[in-house]
Structure 1
Amino acid sequence: MKVERDQLQMSYSLLETERDQLQTNYSSLVMAKEHYIPFFHLSSAERLKACPQGWTCFSSKLYYISTERKSWSESQKDCKERGADLVIINNEEEQDFISQFTGPFWIGLSDREREGTWKWVDGTTLQEGQGYWKENQPDNYNENESCAETAKSNSQKTWNDFQCDEKLSWICEKEG
């Protein structure tokens, strides 16, 4: 029952986000039409307001919020097929944006290469003490947790290490 409720809550949250994005897209298109500016003449900031269907725009990036569930590796493969990669959280604003979604979601962080050395999918290392880990995380429970997931929380600290083979939803990110 809880799983169904969580899935419905996640679907509702995604629908709300999509509705808001459609309203923004519509406003942008009306504004562009009123000013007779072809889409390809819009600035990159104006183009982001007209976010592609199925993607959510934030700052200068596009985000795909999945509703399916896959392992961390399968999730990364799906992102790559979309011309993106699992999300890399670069700052507090992006963390706040990502943490509004119910989750849990895979993010592009793991210590699969070397236990305790957390790296983003672009190869950059997360420095000790950085990030938005939940209290007492990462803990490598049962010496079997090497991939990071995030879920909505009352706190800004939403990350947890988890078993990479577990099936979760995921968030892809690409440049706008």
Structure 2
Amino acid sequence: MFGSSCYFFSTQRRSWDDGRRDCEKRGADLVIIDSRQEQAFLTGFSPAAWVGMTDREREGTWVWVDGTPVNRQSLLWAPGQPDDSLGGEDCGDLRTMTQFLGLNDVNCIVRLQWICEKSLTEL
């Protein structure tokens, strides 16, 4: 728990869409990171985990699963990210690696763990 949200950290690895479906089955959604404090809280549970951001609709325009824009300046991105490396990196994950810490863009079909979030106001 952090702030007014509860989180679920998966132990399985699935695609971004499969991770999101799992969150929805739990009455939640992929996490929306609202601040560097929340990002710091979430960092370290997994080397790489899906979060609820995508630029599928328009390349380079990152939005959260609720449709709000990602404030790229207020969050920590891994060095050089997002970079759409090799094209098709349209989903976001949170990385916790020694030389690669922060948000990252990756192909949505990669199998990663994921983080669900449910607001306590929704309980």
TM-score (norm 2): 0.90
Deviation at residue 130 of structure 1 after TM alignment: 3.9
Within 2, Cα distance between the matches of 1:157 and 1:151? 5
* Conserved? CA contact 2:90–2:105, under 8 Å: yes
Deviation at residue 143 of structure 1 after TM alignment: 1.1
- Structure whose CA Rg is larger: 1
Within 1, Cα distance between the matches of 2:72 and 2:103? 14
Task: In structure 2, give the amino acid aligned to 1:99.
Answer: T
Q: How does 1:1-176 map to 2 (within 5 A)?
A: 57-153=1-97, 157-176=101-120
Q: More strand by proportion, 1 or 2?
A: 2
* Conserved? CA contact 1:132–1:156, under 8 Å: no
Runs of 5+ in structure 1 lacking a partner? 1-56
Deviation at residue 92 of structure 1 after TM alignment: 1.6
Task: In structure 1, give the amino acid aligned to 2:55.
Answer: D
Within 2, Cα distance between the matches of 1:168 and 1:108? 13
Structure 1 window deviating more from structure 2 (146-155 vs 66-75): it is: 146-155
Deviation at residue 102 of structure 1 after TM alignment: 2.5
Distance 1:136 1:121, change over 3 A: same
* Conserved? CA contact 2:95–2:101, under 8 Å: no
* Conserved? CA contact 1:101–1:151, under 8 Å: no
* Number of corresponding residues: 120
* Conserved? CA contact 1:149–1:160, under 8 Å: yes
Deviation at residue 144 of structure 1 after TM alignment: 1.5
Deviation at residue 127 of structure 1 after TM alignment: 3.6
RMSD between superposed Cα atoms in Å: 1.7
Task: In structure 1, give the amino acid aligned to 2:111.
Answer: K
* Conserved? CA contact 1:95–1:156, under 8 Å: no
Deviation at residue 157 of structure 1 after TM alignment: 4.6
Q: More helix by proportion, 1 or 2?
A: 1
Distance 1:157 1:130, change over 3 A: farther
Deviation at residue 163 of structure 1 after TM alignment: 0.5
Query: Comparing both chains, which one has the higher relative contact order based on Cα–Cα distances under 8 Å and sequence gaps of 6 or more?
Result: 2
Structure 1 window deviating more from structure 2 (73-82 vs 145-154): it is: 145-154
Deviation at residue 154 of structure 1 after TM alignment: 5.1
